[in-house]
Structure 1
Amino acid sequence: MQQFEVSMDNELAFLQYRFYKDDIALMHTDVPDTLGGKGIASALAVHALEWAKEHQKKIIVYCPFVASYLKKHPEYDYLVDKNYR
């Protein structure tokens, strides 16, 4: 499994992903409690979505945080692989 990471105050927040066929599957976001409320999970989600857009990858969403982020930001809906909803 691979991940996008943010390191702050000696803590590590991450969004894990893996590649599946031609897609990127967003698996799990974890932000330590000490870093909560700073928008780090949202920043990780945006980074992953922008990475997918830049690399012309569709996304498969398993991560509940990313799923809720997408509901609030429908501008990224076109990235979701409709075969895996």
Structure 2
Amino acid sequence: MSTLVEDNPAKNRFEILVDDALAGFTAYVPRGEVLVLTHTEVDPGFQGKGVASALVRGALDEIRARGGRLVPQCPFVAAFVDRHPEYADLVVEQA
């Protein structure tokens, strides 16, 4: 299974492709350098396979590479950051 996480700024979301099929996305609202991650959704056919975690990890890595920060409004993203404290430095309090 090959996966690719990429930003789709036209739709304000990070998308994960699994074997070239759109498997899920994490939506965001841009606020300058801060992205408010609002919702994560994975296609039912890909659930239970670690796709959501791979998606969020890829999105957070991309945000870090850009020097950005995030607000984990999405419960899944918030729980992911709690389980992976190496990403805690990216989190800012909601304005």
> Normalising by structure 1, what TM-score?
0.86
State the percentage of identical aligned residues: 35
- Structure 1 equivalent of residue 32 of structure 2: 21
Q: Does 2:91 match 1:77? A: no
Q: Report the alpha carbon displacement of residue 50 of structure 1 after superposing the two structures with TM.
A: 0.5
> Which aligned runs of 4 or more in structure 1 are off by greater than 3 angstroms?
7-12
Figure out how many residues of one structure are paired with residues of the other and give that number. 84
Q: 3-state DSSP class of the match of 1:49?
A: helix
Pairing 1:3–2:16 present: no
Structure with bigger strand share is 2
* Bigger helix fraction: 1
What is the rounded CA distance, in whole Å, between the counterparts of 1:27 and 1:19 in structure 2? 10
Structure 1 distance, partners of 2:18, 2:85, is 29
CA distance in 2, matches of 1:45, 1:18: 15
Alignment match, 1:32: 43
**Structure 1 residues 44-53 or 3-12, which shifts more?**
3-12
CA contact (8 A) 2:23 2:51 kept: no
Which of structures 1 and 2 has the larger relative contact order (alpha carbons within 8 angstroms, sep 6+)? 1
> Any idea what SS the aligned residue of 1:17 has?
strand
What is the one-letter code of the residue matched to 1:26? L
Following superposition, the deviation at residue 47 of structure 1 comes to: 0.9
Deviations 1:25-78 (A, max 9, x none): 111100122111111100111111101110001111111100111110011100
